[in-house]
Amino acid sequence: MFVKICGIQSVEAAKAAVLAGADLIGFVFAPSKRTVTPEQATLIAKTIPSSVKVVGIFVNEKIETMNAVKAQVPLDYIQLHGEEPASVAFQLNVPIIKAYSIDKLEKLEQISLEAYPCDYVLIDSPAKQYAGGSGLPFDWSRLKTNLLPQEKLIIAGGLTPTNVKLAIETLKPFGVDVSSGVETNGEKDPKKIIQFITQAKGMDKSDDNIYDA
């Protein structure tokens, strides 16, 4: 199971995610409680091994700005989390993750999704204060998986170490994405990151074994 830990803001959080077995690390460059600057992201990215891919999350950002950030930060993917049309994705010289709120997804036809140039489609909860997810799970029964190729499907929105296994069993996605679900008091919690990835990947690793590696 492909696991993305999003909203990374420190070297310590990135290290915890890498040691726990994350496949993707996400930096938020849009307005959020978890926003980082390109300078911060560059410093953190230097500590991330090449085996773990780096994602930059943007919301309705200018193409020039995204390309400039990509030139500074070693991004392996750009995640478009707003209302960006396919024409924007075509102008970004990097693999794309296209995020949709479950509310917006229900209004799309399969042909429009197939025409979008993206490697993965991420389904999130409806936004609240900021664009992006609310940190609450959506009603999984609303997701018609026949609309999406499951080999491209990433599920987000209110996932936690407690419910991620059920989400995977129910929706059978390619990957899962978490941010607030692995935090304590608004900060990334290494133990929750380990628990989340262990549940998602079905691994049998103790905290001590991971941190002694």
Mean pLDDT across the chain = 89
**Which of the four pLDDT bands, split at 50, 70 and 90, describes residue 209?**
very low
Catalytic one of 6, 23, 118, 177: 6
Whole-structure pTM value: 0.89
**Once rounded to an integer, what is the mean pLDDT over residues 82-100?**
95
Q: Which of 22-31, 136-145, 201-210 has the lowest mean pLDDT?
A: 201-210
The CATH-assigned architecture of domain 2-212 is Alpha-Beta Barrel (3.20)
CA dihedral 28, 34, 35, 40 (to 10 degrees): -90
6 is catalytic: yes
Given the residues 23, 76, 119, 124, select the one marked as catalytic. 124
Concerning whether 119 is annotated as a catalytic residue, the answer is: no
Please tell me the least confidently modeled range out of 21-25, 31-35, 203-207: 203-207
Which of the residue ranges 45-59, 119-133, 166-180 would you say has the lowest mean pLDDT? 119-133
pLDDT at residue 145, as a whole number: 65
